[in-house]
Structure 1
């Protein structure tokens, strides 16, 4: 882990030597890290997209078998098999990037050059954001990112709690880490927008399902 942190620090210094500002260097550094980790997130996004597609069917099953949990589980398994969805397949891609992310955060929190580095309103990237701009941006971008992948309204309160938690965490972190986190969140939002946007076939299926329901009701 320490070796990974050392190499990441060298990469950040390499970028800084080109751009001459550590704030800009962190932004570029973050984008590069996210690009490296992109294959892991692509698999995760694929699972999320499939889960979001079949969520209306899942909700129908929950209503239909609300009083029979065993039957509900059986029907859910059938649905997952029929739609070729494995809810657990997105877990491993989420865990593997931690091998990079843990030493990365440790490196950013203790990067010596940040003490004399300034960026925009920040006089020192080693200090907390005195105006709480980064914590607020961290919370807002975390909420947007989470809202994009929520499948029902019951998750909204959890998203709010997570966003508030990120604000609280970022308040106590060096500004350099805050810049990384906000940039990473913005990249995540763009990534999710690209990978989770409905395809034409999905729109067609949704329209057909809606028409079928209307016919049944009429």
Structure 2
């Protein structure tokens, strides 16, 4: 929401805002106006009040010739990514007339744009998962000879065309876009009271169902902190499946055991953390996880590695 006052261009003005029982704002023109007998002076101060509707703010920016008025919407440091994505999301919303479908389609489009990078990263992860038993075998054979172990591991990677760091670079490139769409869904007022389907009639509110009364099948309500809805549960389940398709930490040391425990509990922790978030945001994470699972599962089925 915004409350803005737009004085005449070229005027020196001052605004005083008092925070007491009520918000009191004073507008003072520092230059003043010179009047003559029987003269009339007109002084216009425009004001914009209401929701931060990006399309409407863009119109004001053009019609009133106010530079950078769109910055009243907090696009953040990723402005150059978030603003173009808003145009795409707005077009999809007008096309589908359903904000939930628009979020899913936008997620699909982003995955398509980064398909080559995703494919490259996931193939590397798929190969790493396929050779995990061979890596474990090498670690057992050369547990007392770290130098030879490194040589044998590099040989295994080379024979199977694996670069252990190959899966990291695409992810680093895509992170700003993941945060960008997350930021976009936080600030876009179009999601307010936007229905999706079934029980999700306001994507800006948290999922209205709860796991602890079997999503409404049991005739009692639960406390707010226990309201973990269908979408958060789906998000956690798909994240767990996604992690199972990825290569797991190997070895038998304490560090490896701790990493495995983190992998095990991360979906559960994120499910609880994201439960109070807007349903539209959780829907985006679910859609991203499902697309990742499908792509990774197909790659894992087609990858072949050499026996060692």
TM range (shorter): 0.7 to 0.9
> Is 1:30–1:180's contact at 8 Å kept on the other side of the alignment?
yes
Matches of 2:292 and 2:104, distance apart in 1: 13
The corresponding residue for 1:145 is: 242
For structure 2, which runs of at least 5 residues remain unmatched after alignment?
Answer: 1-77, 210-228, 251-256
Q: Please, which of 197, 201, 205 is the counterpart of residue 127 of structure 1? A: 205
Q: What RMSD over aligned residues (CA atoms) do the two structures have, in Å?
A: 2.0
Task: Give 1:41 deviation, angstroms.
Answer: 0.7
Q: Please, which of 180, 188, 212 is the counterpart of residue 292 of structure 2? A: 188
Larger RCO of the pair (alpha carbons < 8 Å, separation 6+): 1
> Is 1:126–1:175's contact at 8 Å kept on the other side of the alignment?
yes
SS at match of 2:206: coil
Task: Give 1:169 deviation, angstroms.
Answer: 2.9
> Is 2:126–2:296's contact at 8 Å kept on the other side of the alignment?
no
Matches of 1:35 and 1:172, distance apart in 2: 30
The corresponding residue for 2:98 is: 21
Larger Rg: 2
> Is 1:65–1:72's contact at 8 Å kept on the other side of the alignment?
yes
The corresponding residue for 1:41 is: 118
Q: How many residues align?
A: 204
Q: Please, which of 154, 161, 164 is the counterpart of residue 84 of structure 1? A: 161
Task: Give 1:152 deviation, angstroms.
Answer: 6.7
Whether 2:195 is the aligned partner of 1:98: answer no
Q: Please, which of 265, 268, 279 is the counterpart of residue 175 of structure 1? A: 279
**Larger relative strand fraction:** 2
Task: Give 1:118 deviation, angstroms.
Answer: 1.3
Task: Give 1:68 deviation, angstroms.
Answer: 2.5
The corresponding residue for 1:216 is: none
Question: Residue by residue, what CA displacement relative to the aligned partner does 1:21-55 show, whole Å, maximum 9, x if unpaired?
Answer: 11111111111111112111111012112212322
Matches of 1:139 and 1:150, distance apart in 2: 18
The corresponding residue for 1:214 is: none
The corresponding residue for 1:72 is: 149
The corresponding residue for 1:215 is: none
Q: What's the TM-score once normalised by structure 1's chain length?
A: 0.85
Compare 188-197 and 133-142 and name the one that shifted more: 188-197
Q: What's the TM-score once normalised by structure 2's chain length?
A: 0.61
Task: Give 1:149 deviation, angstroms.
Answer: 1.7
Question: Residue by residue, what CA displacement relative to the aligned partner does 1:30-88 show, whole Å, maximum 9, x if unpaired?
Answer: 11111112111111012112212322221111110122223322221232233332101
